[in-house]
């Protein structure tokens, strides 16, 4: 493995994990286009760890609210919410937030285990990825056209969390953006765009942790001569992940999801066209 390899994959992982363009889809395309081999399991785990660090740092206030809520330190939260300016519906917003995240994670766990082999087979099919990128583009376009709503985290229902979780489960398919699909469903469920994004990012924490646990089964001892390469990849994933979260929060406040949908439509059509033109004949 080279430094260039680590830098490219670190950037792709960090930028596309949270921006609604599908990190798995871009990794499949990059590996196919650049001739990259599947990265070592440990390297992949470390990249996921970098993006997890980005979420924890950026959403540290939300995480602290959840921790104090679950521990019962903050039994009541009478302060106005960031999104509505009104008091929360639930007395313990942190505990309610934690419950919603757990419920929203369940569909992905079920789908991931039930269809593991089938889903893994899709990662070697760029044409399928291209088609799914177009599906993501359509979802983002429709979400961008929705009117702004005023539903905050504390006003979310169990049905909201479950529906967003179902869309996260669908995003296991490469080419379907996890952040794009979950944020869009949040908007469809009448959450404010910022609330939908915050919930989507928090929902990524157990998802990324789950990926790390599953992939760590193939842990191998890190070659000491490649420590610097692994470290640079992880650092780039963390830094680019942090800035991609900040960028998306900024864009989503002004409802600019359409820009991502145009990009995905263009990329999806190019990938499908390339597969048709350059498909090897038998």
The answer to whether 204 and 18 are in contact (CB under 8 A) is yes
Nearest to 248 by CA among 200, 190, 208, 207: 200
Where b means 16+ CB within 10 Å and e means fewer, 81-96 reads bebbeeebbbebbbbb
Q: Which single residue is written with the structure tokens 């992949």?
A: 44
Alpha-carbon span 178 to 211, nearest angstrom: 14
**pLDDT of 81:** 45
Residue 151 pairs with which residues in a beta bridge? Answer: 191
pLDDT at residue 21, rounded to an integer: 83
Nearest by Cα to 48 from 213, 193, 197: 213
Enter the pTM of the model.
Answer: 0.80
| Predicted local confidence at residue 160, as pLDDT | 94
pLDDT digit string (tens) for the chain, length 282 residues? 678 888 888 888 888 888 888 777 777 777 767 666 666 667 777 888 899 999 999 999 889 888 888 887 754 443 444 444 444 455 577 888 899 999 999 998 888 777 766 766 666 677 788 888 899 999 988 888 775 667 777 788 999 999 999 999 988 888 888 888 999 999 999 898 888 888 999 998 887 887 777 666 655 566 677 778 888 989 999 999 999 998 888 887 776 788 888 989 998 888 888 877 766 544
Residue with tokens 């469809």, as numbered in its chain: 188
Distance from C-alpha of 248 to C-alpha of 255, rounded to nearest angstrom: 10
Q: Are 204 and 179 in contact (CB under 8 A)?
A: yes
Residue 233 CA: distances (Å) to CA of 10, 192, 227, 279? 5, 34, 10, 32
Give the CA count within 13 Å in the CB-facing half-sphere of 203: 35
């Amino acid at each position: 493995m080279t430094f260039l390899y680590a830098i490219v994959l670190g950037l792709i992982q960090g930028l596309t994990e949270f921006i609604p363009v599908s990190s798995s889809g871009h990794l499949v395309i990059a590996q196919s286009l650049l001739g990259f081999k599947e990265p070592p399991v440990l390297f992949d785990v470390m990249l996921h760890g970098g993006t997890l660090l980005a979420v924890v740092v950026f959403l540290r206030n939300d995480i602290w609210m959840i921790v104090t809520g679950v521990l019962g330190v903050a039994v009541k939260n009478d302060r106005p919410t960031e999104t509505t300016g009104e008091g929360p519906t639930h007395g313990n917003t942190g505990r309610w937030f934690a419950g919603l995240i757990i419920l929203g994670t369940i569909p992905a766990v079920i789908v991931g285990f039930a269809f593991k082999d089938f889903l893994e087979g899709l990662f070697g099919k760029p044409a399928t990825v291209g088609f799914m990128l177009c599906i993501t583009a359509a979802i983002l376009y429709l979400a961008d056209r929705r009117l702004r709503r005023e539903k905050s985290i504390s006003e979310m229902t169990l049905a909201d969390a479950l529906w967003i979780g179902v869309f996260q489960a669908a995003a296991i398919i490469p080419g379907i953006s996890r952040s794009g699909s979950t944020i869009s469903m949040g908007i469809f469920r009448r959450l404010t765009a910022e609330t939908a994004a915050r919930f989507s990012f928090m929902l990524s924490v157990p998802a990324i942790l789950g990926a790390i646990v599953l992939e760590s089964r193939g842990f191998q001892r890190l070659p000491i001569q490649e420590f610097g390469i692994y470290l640079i990849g992880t650092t780039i994933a963390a830094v680019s992940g942090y800035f991609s979260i900040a960028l998306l929060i900024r864009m989503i406040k002004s409802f600019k999801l359409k820009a991502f949908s145009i990009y995905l439509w263009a990329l999806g059509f190019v990938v499908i066209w390339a597969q048709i033109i350059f498909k090897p004949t038998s």
